[in-house]
């Protein structure tokens, strides 16, 4: 503990995060602690942190082994509970010779699917599948863990035959035993690696296996094999879009194995749910999804290495619950929930979105002119404008 009175105390900072709903907390030498509120970094009122202030905050949440790892290996990742208020995922590390921290808040309450923005009917159909692979993908901070936790919770509450094994680094959401049984293993604490945990899991009578991250070839191979042999496997990747997700898995394999993995994926991949978060008007954040459900047509595209055609099938496969990210972005913009800038910047096809927005503005201007209103209001994409016809 530092000799001087600490300027910042961890319980105060954690309470600030919980009360404000902040997603992240950054602690660095040279500036006050910063928290991310609605996508913006805000600084806590107070003086800049000195080295002893940061070390005091690190030691408030890290055990001796984790502190030692920071000193000798340059970093440590772990999770902890702040009483019953929230859990936090922590990355503690050294930068420019000093300790630093990033904490991400993991809400205690699981969000309903409609709040996440997913169709409960589609998810229920996917979760009732006895075997196969469901991937939830997106960049860091896109809410993948929240979506997966909500799905696992539904299985835990409704399937009395289910033994659910989660393999995570670190454990984020705790899943108590409900009508199902849950086993949660933390990499580096309960088991040395994802691959080793998967290998052991297959001998532990699982129905459902959640792999926190498909980060290497061995883990991907074992996850696909588990899905083939009668298990429902969930996994995550840091990809955006269903087609890119399939390509990412295939490209992880040596060239001579890629045809085989395409055939395997065409049969075991049940769905890809890719998501991003964008600022919601007037406040908060809005989840935007890219959803692919495996159909005979999608399976053929995967098998024949024609993933570039997947978005076209998504646009025509709305009856199966499919949607492209750009279609959802555009519709949220037309509903006045997403800004024009985010609609452009977050799109997968930037030039295609620009053209789409231009055509929409012209349609709205013509509509407003017919109604005798100011056409400039429609051209500006004013919130509340009538939504366009459904895409496709």
Tens-place pLDDT, residues 62-118: 999 999 999 999 999 998 989 888 889 999 999 999 999 999 998 777 888 888 899
Give the 3-state secondary structure of residue 13: helix
Whether residues 230 and 130 share a domain: the answer is yes
Domain boundary (318, 334, 350) is at 334
The verdict on residue 342 lying in a domain is no
Q: What is the pLDDT of residue 161?
A: 93
**What letters, b where the CB count within 10 A reaches 16 and e where it falls short, cover 75-94?**
ebbbbbebeeebbbbbebbe
Q: What is the pLDDT of residue 303?
A: 97
Q: What is the pLDDT of residue 93?
A: 96
What is the number of structural domains in the chain? 2
Tell me the C-alpha to C-alpha distance, in Å, between residue 15 and each of 39, 79, 128.
Answer: 19, 17, 39
In angstroms, the CA 5 to CA 7 distance is: 6
Whether residues 148 and 291 share a domain: the answer is yes
Whether residues 171 and 193 share a domain: the answer is yes
The verdict on residue 340 lying in a domain is no
The verdict on residue 254 lying in a domain is yes
The verdict on residue 127 lying in a domain is yes
In angstroms, the CA 226 to CA 205 distance is: 12
Whether residues 91 and 124 share a domain: the answer is no
In angstroms, the CA 388 to CA 385 distance is: 9
Structural domain for 151, as ranges: 113-334
Domain boundary (69, 85, 106) is at 106
The residue with tokens 């993933």 is 307
In angstroms, the CA 190 to CA 278 distance is: 35
Whether residues 143 and 247 share a domain: the answer is yes
The verdict on residue 382 lying in a domain is no
Q: What is the pLDDT of residue 106?
A: 87
Whether residues 275 and 300 share a domain: the answer is yes
Whether residues 138 and 119 share a domain: the answer is yes
> Of 55, 158, 143, 155, whose CA–CA distance to 101 is shortest?
55
In angstroms, the CA 268 to CA 368 distance is: 49
Q: What is the pLDDT of residue 226?
A: 96
In angstroms, the CA 196 to CA 357 distance is: 49
Q: What is the pLDDT of residue 307?
A: 96
Q: What is the pTM of this model?
A: 0.84
In angstroms, the CA 123 to CA 136 distance is: 12
Q: What is the pLDDT of residue 373?
A: 55
The verdict on residue 353 lying in a domain is no
User: The CATH number of the domain where 99 resides is what?
Assistant: 3.30.450.90
Q: What is the pLDDT of residue 380?
A: 47
Whether residues 298 and 274 share a domain: the answer is yes
**What letters, b where the CB count within 10 A reaches 16 and e where it falls short, cover 137-148?**
bbeeebbbbbbb
List the chain residues with pLDDT less than 50.
1-2, 375, 377-387, 389-392
In angstroms, the CA 39 to CA 91 distance is: 19
The verdict on residue 358 lying in a domain is no
> Of 254, 257, 219, whose CA–CA distance to 235 is shortest?
219
User: The CATH number of the domain where 262 resides is what?
Assistant: 3.40.50.300
Please count the helices (runs of H) and the strands (runs of E) in the chain.
16, 13
Q: What is the pLDDT of residue 94?
A: 96
Whether residues 255 and 318 share a domain: the answer is yes
Strand ranges, E, within the chain: 24-27, 34-37, 40-43, 75-82, 86-95, 98-107, 132-137, 163-168, 181-186, 208-211, 232-237, 269-279, 285-293
Whether residues 153 and 36 share a domain: the answer is no
Q: Phi and psi at residue 361, in whole multiples of 5°? A: -60, -40
Q: What is the torsion angle, in degrees rounded to the nearest 10, for the CA atoms of residue 307, residue 313, residue 315 and residue 321?
A: -110
Whether residues 68 and 94 share a domain: the answer is yes
Domain boundary (71, 106, 141) is at 106
Whether residues 192 and 138 share a domain: the answer is yes
């Amino acid at each position: 503990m530092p000799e001087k009175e600490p300027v910042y105390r961890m319980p105060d900072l954690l309470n600030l995060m919980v009360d404000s709903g902040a997603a992240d907390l950054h602690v660095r030498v040279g500036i006050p602690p910063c928290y991310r509120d609605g996508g913006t970094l805000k600084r806590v009122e107070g003086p800049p942190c000195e080295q002893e202030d940061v070390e005091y905050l690190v030691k408030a949440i890290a055990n001796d082994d984790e502190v030692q790892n920071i000193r000798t290996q340059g970093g440590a990742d772990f999770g902890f509970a702040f009483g019953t208020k929230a859990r936090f995922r922590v990355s503690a590390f050294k930068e420019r010779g000093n300790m630093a921290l990033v904490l991400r808040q993991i809400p205690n309450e699981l969000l309903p699917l409609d709040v996440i923005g997913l169709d409960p009917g589609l998810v229920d159909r996917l979760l009732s599948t006895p075997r196969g692979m469901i991937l939830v993908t997106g960049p860091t901070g896109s809410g993948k863990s929240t979506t997966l936790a909500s799905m696992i919770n539904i299985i835990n509450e409704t399937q009395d035959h289910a033994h659910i094994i989660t393999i995570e680094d670190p454990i984020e959401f705790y899943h108590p035993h409900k009508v199902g049984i849950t086993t949660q293993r933390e990499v580096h604490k309960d088991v040395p690696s994802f691959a080793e945990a998967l290998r052991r899991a297959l001998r532990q009578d699982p129905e459902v296996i959640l792999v926190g991250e498909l980060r290497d070839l061995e883990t991907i191979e074992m996850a696909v094999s588990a899905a083939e042999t009668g298990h429902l496997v969930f996994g995550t990747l840091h990809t955006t879009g269903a087609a890119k997700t399939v390509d990412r898995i295939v490209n992880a394999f040596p060239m001579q194995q890629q045809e085989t993995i395409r055939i395997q994926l065409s049969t075991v991949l049940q769905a890809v749910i890719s998501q991003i978060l964008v600022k919601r008007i007037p406040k908060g954040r809005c989840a935007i999804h890219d959803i692919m459900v495996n159909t005979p047509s999608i399976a053929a595209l995967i098998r024949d290495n024609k993933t570039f055609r997947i978005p076209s099938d998504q646009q025509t496969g709305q009856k199966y619950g499919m949607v492209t990210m750009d279609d959802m972005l555009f519709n949220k913009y037309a509903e006045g929930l997403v800004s024009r800038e985010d609609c452009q910047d977050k799109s997968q096809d930037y030039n295609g979105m620009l053209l789409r927005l231009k055509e929409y503005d012209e349609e709205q201007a013509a509509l407003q002119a017919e109604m005798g209103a100011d056409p400039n209001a429609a051209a500006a994409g004013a919130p509340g404008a009538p939504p366009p016809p459904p895409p496709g």
